[in-house]
Amino acid sequence: MPLPWRKLIFYYHPVFLEHLPGLRHPENPERLKMIVRHLQEKNIWEQLQVAAPPPAELKWIETNHSPSYIRSVEEACRRAPLILDGGDTVVTARSYEAALHAVGACLAGVDDLLNNRASSVFCALRPPGHHAEHAEAMGFCLFNNSAIAARYALDRYSLQRVFILDWDVHHGNGTQNSFYDSAEVYFCSIHEWPLYPGSGARDERGRGLGKGYTLNIPLLAGGGDEEYLEALRDQIIPEIRHYRPDLLIISAGFDAHEDDPLAQMQVSTNCYREMTRLVRQAMREINGGKILSVLEGGYHHHNLADSVQAHLEALVEEEGVVHGA
Ligand SMILES: [Zn+2]
């Protein structure tokens, strides 16, 4: 039985390829080119609703980042190429435009889900977002796409609860800090630890009103499908069921894959399918299964593309129907 691809909106914009940290930089345009080429080869591309997002309005980016920081990113692109964080977060002439459209994709995705135009949305974007802090670029990230999307869903649609599940192999420090004091967004991260950026210990559980609404699941290097699926089943899914979010956002990095060059986890392509199924199953009972999935890391090009395919297939498959394996 063919998959109902039309239920999924896939956001992509050519400007994402114009953010150019350099081909030897792991976070380079080849990542997205490979995803697109792969989906075309598999004859999935033409079945998807592919849409180009508009740039986000600054007022929404300002809900998560200081205006002076946003201006400094724009400025830096005029003087590009520049390194923003003393390390590996590079901007070039069009990076600001790419980052505006990346946030734009997430906001458009929230609109689609909450106006019932799609059952799930995948944002194939770069630069990624989950390390970006309130006033600081970090770890290849400029603006925190997922955090801004969550804030937008709460403010624009008066939602009460948003759950962000971050399964990128690195801890989503920026997203955690955005909502550390808040019960409106439950932030859950599963990641290799110790690893960059160093945060994400188990005892980081939130503060004040946010106490209990942050959950970190640090895993030692070498963990794989068994550890991930067990954590999903025993810890994450029960939290999702208990919290009953109006919207679930996945900060979908695929760098826990066994072949990824930036980390040491052993997750298989199929595990991304299984994790997606588990989350979708839980959300079906809560909001009808609507999920906004936002690309973060994933640096082995072929396996990134494969993993994205598995993730997308699980996002659209009908209940009880098992495709592939
Ligand atoms: Zn990562």
Residue 298, domain member (yes or no): yes
Asked whether the beta carbons of 129 and 212 are under 8 A apart, the reply is: no
Question: Mapping DSSP to helix (H, G, I), strand (E, B) and coil, where does residue 276 land?
Answer: helix
What is the CA(260)–ligand 1 centre distance, in A? 10
138 within some domain: yes
Cα of 115 to ligand 1 centre, how many Å?
Answer: 31
Statement: the pTM of the whole predicted model exceeds 0.85: yes
Percentage of residues of the chain with pLDDT beyond 70: 98
Residues marked as catalytic: 131
How does pLDDT run across 150-192, given as a tens digit for each residue? Answer: 999 999 999 999 999 999 999 999 999 999 999 999 999 999 9
Q: Residue 228 is part of which domain span?
A: 5-316
Give burial (CB, 10 Å; 0-12/13-18/19+) of 84: buried
Q: Nearest to residue 267, comparing CAs of 314, 298, 228, 296?
A: 228
Write the CATH number for 169.
3.40.800.20
CB 192 within 8 A of CB 265: yes
Residue at 112 is within a domain:
yes
Q: Is residue 324 part of a domain?
A: no
- pLDDT-derived band at 2 (thresholds 50, 70, 90) equals confident
- Is residue 271 a part of any domain in this protein? yes
Distance between Cα 319 and ligand 1 center (Å): 30
**For residue 192, how far is its CA from the centre of ligand 1 (angstroms)?**
10
- Sheet of 214-219, strand order: 49-51, 8-11, 120-123, 291-295, 247-252, 162-166, 185-192, 214-219
Cβ contact 167:274 at 8 Å:
no
Q: What are phi and psi of 257, to 5 degrees?
A: -60, 145
Residue 22 maps to a domain: yes
Q: How many domains does the chain have?
A: 1
What tens digit of pLDDT does each residue of 242-299 get?
999 999 999 999 999 999 999 999 999 999 999 999 999 999 999 999 999 999 999 9
